[in-house]
């Protein structure tokens, strides 16, 4: 779940608590909203600078282990307390502190289990803030140690455009079980520049229906999740507002947005792959670099799994037309073809100026109505051309052609000669060539001259009654046309209203046994006409509830659970802490052997450490097991050595323990306490 969705679900009192945190409050005083304050790299860097070392290290490990996926507190404690010898108590208190600070958020399942998560769109920010990756020296000369993996692909923005446009034009029929029509799937897959084989190895593209080609599944998933496509009961169609918010963006900006979505949505399904994806995005655009530059972010912990994740993800980036990859003798070289910088880490907000304004001259229209589309054209220009013209090629420079059939299709979509001509002249920055203008006049001159209208016939027994009906105001809204003195063409959807009004006038309709009951066709027409609107409303409701609208079945969705903004109390993290002698927590003392054992058992239950006096001084000891034999007992555990991160396993008898006390983690005293 992203940060904006998380904050939208929080109760007002929890938002107020977040806004009262000093770092967040300072950002909001400078004019930021809560969303903007928590999503900026500047705030993340300030938090990291002020945070305890444990919190920084723990958050980095959480990002590496889970990315934006949810995790249980006990699961995280068991997984993360091993390597640096953190105690479970230290981890629990640090998690609570990060929830207080707005770094971690929580949801609670119906049966009470609490899950924590890092907002999906901030995972990459935290990764690069906590472990900055400085790119190696760029390779100024193109590597010549190997061959490119394949010729350059179309960017994903154009590959998706062709699929979405075909669905807008023809729809995608669904069976009664919701499966797409197989023949249409084959045609969609074959028409896409991105081929199914290029997505091999990403199993989630086969969910929920392996019969759907992976490239089509990708187009459906992104289109549905963005709201550009809508799933109706019997088909998938394009939304009337599809691509509106991206219409003024050039292709490079659209692909940058898609990269962000793809990173979160697909790489985020596997924490290792997400880590690799973010490491790559720290690399500079348009310059060759060695793959090892990205691998360095794993440090000494790099294993084969990470190398495989990086290789799989770069393969996907190449297929999406965003990266080049060359395999040399001993090294792999990579080059971004788009700017991969995370939005929160851009030095300045890049304003992607559109080219769809009057007189921009972005299109070149030939006399034969061939249209040349240069790379700087906006996504909205491409989307409009897909509607009014025939696509002849998609490439760095694309071409379209306006034909008689495309004009007929444009006319069906509401274009007139005037509106089409105005748009073409506006985006080309010049008047249409005379041959082109004459061709459009000829083709549009034939459009709309004939039409077939669904109608019901109202037969009237006398001309006088027909005249009265024609003059009745409430009835006129439902009459299409008076065909002669005795017959009217009636709108099908108005049959019920018309019958009711005629009955009010004292002229009930005679029963017609040879036709369907009045209004049946109207109901069908209403149902068909309103299907898209109803589906759009249903999609909006699902989106507002946090439900995922995409085609692919992703891992568990956090939005179906209730947000939990409460901060754990000290009693929750350390059960019974309010009922033990306070001196056990305040200062080391000598105790009776039975009390020493009770203190050790309590520390083990809380998975925290004790401070114990030995002959060689004070020791930080983490008890892990008690062993009883022959009437005596001993304790096994870990001693923290003076070296950073250093530990040693020890076993001591209960009698050898001197003065001791339970050590709760730093910050435990700041946790809210249970009211008695």
Of the CATH numbers 1.20.1250.20, 1.10.10.10, 3.40.50.2300, 3.30.300.30, which one belongs to the domain with range 3-130? 1.10.10.10
Quick one: what percent of the chain has pLDDT higher than 90? 49
Higher pLDDT, 529 or 215: 215
Supply φ then ψ for residue 625, to 5 degrees: -155, 145
532: left (phi over 0), alpha (psi -120 to 50) or beta: alpha
pLDDT in tens, 163-216: 999 999 999 999 988 899 999 999 999 999 999 988 887 877 877 788 899 999
The arithmetic mean of pLDDT across residues 259-265, rounded, is 95
361: left (phi over 0), alpha (psi -120 to 50) or beta: left
Pull the structure tokens for residue 368.
């034969």
The arithmetic mean of pLDDT across residues 410-423, rounded, is 92
CA 566 to chain CA mean position, Å? 26
The CATH class that applies to domain 456-521 reads alpha beta
Query: Regarding beta strands 71-72 and 114-117, do their DSSP bridges make them parallel or antiparallel, or are they unpaired?
Result: antiparallel
**Mean model confidence pLDDT for the chain:** 85
As a whole number of angstroms, the distance between CA 15 and CA 495 comes to 54
As a whole number of angstroms, the distance between CA 554 and CA 205 comes to 10
DSSP line for 211-279 = TS-HHHHHHHHHHHHHTSEEE-SSEEEE-TTTTGGGTTSBHHHHHHHHHHHHHHHTGGGSHHHHHHHHH
Specify the fold of 571-670: SH3 type barrels. (2.30.30)
Closest CA to 655 of 670, 675, 635, 630: 635
Q: Where are the beta strands (DSSP E) in 118-242?
A: 172-173, 229-231, 235-238
For 532, counting Cβ atoms within 10 Å of its Cβ (0-12 exposed, 13-18 middle, 19+ buried), the class is middle
Provide the whole-model pTM.
0.84
As a whole number of angstroms, the distance between CA 276 and CA 544 comes to 31
Question: 3-class SS at 408?
Answer: helix
Closest CA to 388 of 132, 634, 168: 168
For 630, counting Cβ atoms within 10 Å of its Cβ (0-12 exposed, 13-18 middle, 19+ buried), the class is exposed
pLDDT in tens, 456-504: 899 998 999 999 888 888 888 888 889 999 999 998 888 888 888 888 8
pLDDT at 352 over 80: no
Would you tell me how many other CB atoms lie within 10 Å of the CB of residue 190? 12
pLDDT in tens, 651-661: 988 888 889 99
pLDDT in tens, 388-399: 999 999 988 999
CATH 1.10.10.10 domain range(s) in the chain = 3-130
Lowest mean per-residue pLDDT among 35-49, 247-261, 340-354, 371-385: 340-354
CATH 2.30.30 domain range(s) in the chain = 571-670
């Amino acid at each position: 779940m992203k940060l904006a969705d998380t904050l939208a679900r929080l109760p007002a009192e929890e938002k107020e608590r977040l806004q009262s945190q000093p770092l967040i409050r300072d950002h909001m005083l400078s004019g930021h909203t809560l969303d903007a304050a928590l999503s900026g790299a500047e705030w993340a860097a300030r938090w990291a600078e002020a945070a305890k070392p444990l919190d920084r290290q723990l958050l980095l490990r959480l990002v590496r282990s889970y990315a934006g996926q949810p995790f249980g507190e006990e699961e995280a404690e068991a997984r993360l307390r091993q390597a640096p010898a953190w105690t479970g108590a230290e981890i629990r208190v640090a998690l609570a502190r990060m929830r207080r600070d707005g770094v971690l958020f929580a949801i609670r399942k119906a049966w009470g289990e609490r899950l924590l998560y890092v907002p999906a769109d901030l995972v990459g920010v935290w990764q690069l803030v906590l472990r900055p990756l400085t790119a190696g020296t760029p390779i100024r000369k193109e590597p010549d140690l190997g061959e490119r993996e394949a010729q350059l692909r179309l960017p994903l923005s154009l590959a998706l455009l062709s699929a979405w446009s075909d669905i807008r034009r023809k729809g995608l029929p669904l069976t009664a079980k919701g499966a797409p029509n197989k023949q249409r799937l084959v045609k969609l897959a074959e028409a896409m520049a991105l081929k199914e084989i290029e997505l091999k190895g990403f199993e989630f593209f086969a969910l929920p229906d392996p019969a759907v080609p992976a490239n089509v599944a990708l187009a459906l998933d992104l289109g549905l999740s963005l709201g550009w496509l809508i799933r109706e009961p019997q088909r998938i169609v394009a939304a009337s507002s599809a691509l509106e918010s991206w219409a003024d963006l050039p292709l490079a900006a659209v692909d940058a947005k898609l990269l962000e979505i793809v990173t979160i949505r697909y790489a985020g399904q596997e924490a290792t792959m997400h880590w690799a994806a973010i490491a790559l995005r720290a690399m500079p655009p348009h310059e060759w670099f060695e793959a090892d530059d990205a691998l360095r972010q794993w440090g000494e912990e790099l294993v084969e799994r990470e190398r495989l994740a990086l290789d799989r993800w770069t393969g996907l980036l190449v297929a999406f037309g965003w990266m080049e990859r060359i395999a040399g003798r001993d090294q792999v070289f990579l080059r971004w073809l788009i700017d991969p910088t995370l939005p929160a880490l851009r030095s300045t907000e890049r304003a992607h100026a559109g080219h769809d304004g009057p007189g921009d001259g972005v299109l070149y229209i030939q006399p034969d109505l061939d249209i040349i589309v240069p790379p700087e054209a906006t996504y909205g220009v491409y989307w409009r051309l897909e509607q009014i013209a025939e696509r002849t090629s998609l490439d760095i420079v694309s071409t379209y052609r306006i034909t008689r059939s495309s004009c007929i299709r444009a006319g069906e979509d509401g274009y007139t000669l005037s509106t089409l001509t105005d748009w073409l002249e506006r985006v080309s920055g010049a008047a249409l060539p005379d041959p082109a203008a004459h061709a459009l006049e000829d083709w549009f001159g034939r459009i709309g001259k004939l039409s077939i209208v669904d109608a019901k016939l109202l037969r009237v027994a006398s001309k006088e009654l027909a005249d009265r009906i024609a003059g009745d105001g409430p009835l006129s809204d439902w009459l299409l046309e008076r065909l002669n003195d005795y017959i009217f063409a009636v709108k099908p959807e108005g049959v019920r209203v018309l019958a009711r009004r005629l009955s009010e006038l004292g002229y009930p309709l005679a029963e017609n046994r040879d036709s369907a009951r009045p209004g049946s066709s109207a109901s069908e027409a209403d149902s068909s006409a309103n299907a898209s609107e109803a589906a759009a409303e249903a999609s909006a409701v699902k989106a507002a509830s946090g439900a995922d609208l995409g085609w692919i079945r992703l891992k568990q969705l956090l939005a179906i659970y209730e947000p939990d903004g409460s901060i754990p109390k000290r009693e929750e993290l350390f059960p019974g802490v309010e009922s033990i002698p306070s001196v056990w927590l305040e200062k080391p003392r000598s105790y009776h052997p039975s009390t020493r054992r009770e203190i050790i058992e309590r520390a083990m239950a809380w998975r925290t450490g004790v401070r114990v006096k030995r002959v060689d001084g004070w020791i930080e000891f983490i008890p892990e097991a008690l062993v009883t034999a022959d009437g005596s007992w001993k304790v096994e555990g870990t001693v923290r050595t003076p070296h950073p991160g250093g530990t040693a396993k020890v076993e001591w008898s209960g009698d050898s323990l001197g003065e001791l006390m339970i050590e709760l983690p730093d910050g435990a005293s700041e946790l809210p306490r249970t009211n008695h």
